[in-house]
Structure 1
Amino acid sequence: MLNFKIYGTASNPKYGVLFHIYGLIFIILSSGIGTILPILLKNKSFFSVKSPLFNSLKMFGTGVIVTVAFVHMLSPADKMLSGDDAPEFFRENYDAFSGVFAVTGIIVAHGIQLLLKEFFKNQNKNHIHNEHNEYTSKTNIIVHNGSNSTESDSLLSSSGTVSYNYNTYSNNKDDYDEVNHEGCGHEALLLVSHKQMVSYLLEIGISLHSVLIGFAFGTNFDDDINYLLIALMIHQFFEGIALSTIFIEAKFKNMIAPILMVIFYSITMPLGGVGGLLIYSINSSNTTIMTSIQGILDSIAAGLLIYDSLVNILSHYTSSKHWDETGKYSKIVQIFSFYLGCVCMALIGIWA
């Protein structure tokens, strides 16, 4: 029988199921806003994905996520898995299980990313091979001989050499990425349908770890949960922005796919949170089981957040071409924003 504590527990009357319900609603809102904003503001320069304002906010949010993972999730999880309420195996046989489960979360996140990357790589090779064959067969070859030419829109050289009319393959130049005009253009072709497939795969990967983090939120009834909620809202907001920009680039012909993306992404973490609440309601009377579940999930979720923030956001962004082309002062502001996010959440830990 389900045993929900609506307004809190005996040990912690502040954060009961009602707080979690409100928290899940806020997570849905932050996820939805994050995915909708790029669609609404895609033509506004001040909030584009390359603007200093956007990237400074992203860096601040990344700092918040990193610190929450270490200070507000991993550290309490270590205390839970090594405290008096933990199973004897955790307390006496091995006292570093929180680190083990955090590494497990990192491995899971990295494994998902590698699988998706390999799948993308193989599909990309097949697309390049097939599209190059079809592309070659459909390309107009025009020999420029004096003033005679077969088509007025052909790309003709002044020396009477062979030229190719790339425009005959597709009437929509946006169907492809920018083409290298130095002889390897066909290798840069990427069909819109291929980008759409990548969009779906990316959403699946993001949703998997969102559900797991949601489980950790649903089973967490500690005082730190309010700061965890803030971090998860920031996490969902910026990850939603990243996912939405991928869908925008995929150029779906209708709005059904982006709308479904917004809905699906917005509810994945809350669904995990509901699952966590159900687990808590069933096992709340068994302190040992709940301590183990919460400690394990918090550790794994911390690993996921650490990997996602440091590798997929911070490292990926600071090693990108856009970062290299960013001005010195803009870089300083953005790096300072990251440090500020770390410091703010570390200081908040004093009162957690």
Structure 2
Amino acid sequence: MAKFEKVIFWSIFLLLPTIVLGMSNCTCDPDEGVVNKTKALHYKLGAIASILVASAIGVCIPVLGKVIPALSPERNFFFIIKAFAAGVILATGFIHVLPDAFDKLTSPCLKEQPWGIFPFSGFVAMVAAMGTLMVDTYATSYYNKKNDEGDNHVHSHATNGHAHISESMMSGSDSKLLRYRVISQVLELGIIVHSVIIGIALGASEDPNKVRSLIAALTFHQFFEGMGLGGSIAQAKFKSLAVSIMTLLFSLTTPIGIAIGIGITNGYNEHGQKALIVEGVFNSASAGILIYMALVDLLAADFMHPRMQCNGKLQLGANVSLLFGAGLMSLMAKWA
């Protein structure tokens, strides 16, 4: 696995203890509601299975381009799928994650100083978006420099003009591939941070009605979000091992979060100060990453692609698909 991939991989797992420790500390009184631990646990176990299957199917659909030709990144239909998935990710950031972050960081359970006098949610989201841009830029630059060094070595052994043209074309193709790989890794990081949090929140709830209402919503949520991530992974053309790791990591994240939530149920209080701060900050950062990735790396890149620009029907289809994906995910905010 490449150096940058390892950094992303270990960053994800290093975040987990921070989230769990922060969310298990409580200072405010929990809400009084329907509490039935046994019934809620049955629903949670069902949620683990349901979300695991939906996540795996969603992320694998775009990756099956080799098996299903219509899903190949070289086909126009792939642009339609990616537009839908990008709409889902954009709505996730704007409609699901960012508003929840504002709710957490403006909670009356937090002290007025400093949480009540400054919009930390928007600030953290902005910083995360800029940080994503920087990571995006430096990682792409790093890979391009390594690629150029390799090309120069090859060029020094070339003996005719045909070799130079061939290597130039390969260099452009490799540069685009490296860009797709950076995009897919950063996108997965943003999605996984959010997925862990919603998993812990579901797993820690002891209200069967709340858990039951979240199962269907989060199942569809993870399915569509998986399609967005799967599209990026498919374009990146990773080796089979890397694809397996990335799809497995995404599929397991929310179920693992639910399992962690079940484990900390007795000490968890969603209105505790540290829980609110940790969840609010991580949600804000996740929202900034998702919004940046959806607008810049997914939508702008595809909608400005020469194939899209030269095909009116494809443009119309992609726009309709984008609106449908964003609208569907926005509608789901009614339940989760």
TM-score relative to the length of structure 1: 0.67
The equivalent residue for 1:147 is none
2:104 counterpart letter in structure 1: M
The equivalent residue for 1:318 is 303
Which one of the candidate residues 214, 236, 243 is aligned to 1:246?
A: 236
Which one of the candidate residues 188, 191, 199 is aligned to 1:218?
A: 199
CA displacement 1:163-221 (0-9 Å, x = unmatched): 75x5xxxxxxxxxxxxxxxx643323349999998887666544433432233223435
- Bigger drift between 337-346 and 109-118 goes to 337-346
The equivalent residue for 1:293 is 278
Which one of the candidate residues 85, 93, 97 is aligned to 2:117?
A: 93
Which one of the candidate residues 85, 88, 92 is aligned to 1:68?
A: 92
Contact 1:60 1:339 in 2 (8 A): yes
The answer to whether structure 1 residue 330 and structure 2 residue 318 are counterparts is: no
Which one of the candidate residues 57, 64, 69 is aligned to 1:33?
A: 57
Contact 1:216 1:301 in 2 (8 A): no
2:195 counterpart letter in structure 1: G
Task: Kindly indicate which of the two structures has a greater share of residues assigned to helix.
Answer: 2
- Bigger drift between 337-346 and 305-314 goes to 337-346
The equivalent residue for 1:114 is 137
Larger relative contact order (CA 8 Å, sep ≥ 6)? 2
- Written as runs of structure 1 = structure 2, the 5 A alignment for 1:128-277 is 128-134=151-157, 136=158, 139=159, 166=163, 184-190=165-171, 204-221=185-202, 227=217, 230-247=220-237, 255-256=240-241, 258-267=243-252
CA–CA distance in structure 1, aligned partners of residues 174 and 77 of structure 2: 32
1:93 counterpart letter in structure 2: I
CA distance change for structure 1 residues 309 and 228 in 2, over 3 Å: closer, same or farther?
Answer: farther
Contact 2:58 2:225 in 1 (8 A): no
User: Offset at 1:126?
Assistant: 0.5
CA distance change for structure 1 residues 270 and 115 in 2, over 3 Å: closer, same or farther?
Answer: farther
Q: Structure 2, unaligned stretches of length 5 or more? A: 1-20, 25-29
Contact 2:93 2:288 in 1 (8 A): yes
1:314 counterpart letter in structure 2: L
The equivalent residue for 1:309 is 294
- The alignment partner of 1:189 has SS state of helix
Percent identity between the two aligned chains: 19
User: Offset at 1:300?
Assistant: 1.7
CA–CA distance in structure 1, aligned partners of residues 92 and 222 of structure 2: 9
User: Offset at 1:129?
Assistant: 0.7
CA–CA distance in structure 2, aligned partners of residues 186 and 50 of structure 1: 22
CA–CA distance in structure 2, aligned partners of residues 100 and 20 of structure 1: 34
CA distance change for structure 1 residues 120 and 308 in 2, over 3 Å: closer, same or farther?
Answer: same
2:228 counterpart letter in structure 1: F
CA distance change for structure 1 residues 113 and 92 in 2, over 3 Å: closer, same or farther?
Answer: same
TM-score relative to the length of structure 2: 0.70
CA distance change for structure 1 residues 122 and 61 in 2, over 3 Å: closer, same or farther?
Answer: same
Instruction: Give the number of the structure whose alpha-carbon radius of gyration is greater.
Output: 1
User: Offset at 1:130?
Assistant: 0.9
Please report the RMSD computed on the Cα atoms of aligned residues, expressed in angstroms.
Answer: 4.1
The equivalent residue for 1:342 is 326
CA–CA distance in structure 2, aligned partners of residues 319 and 193 of structure 1: 20
- Bigger drift between 75-84 and 260-269 goes to 260-269
- Give the paired residue count: 299
2:192 counterpart letter in structure 1: V
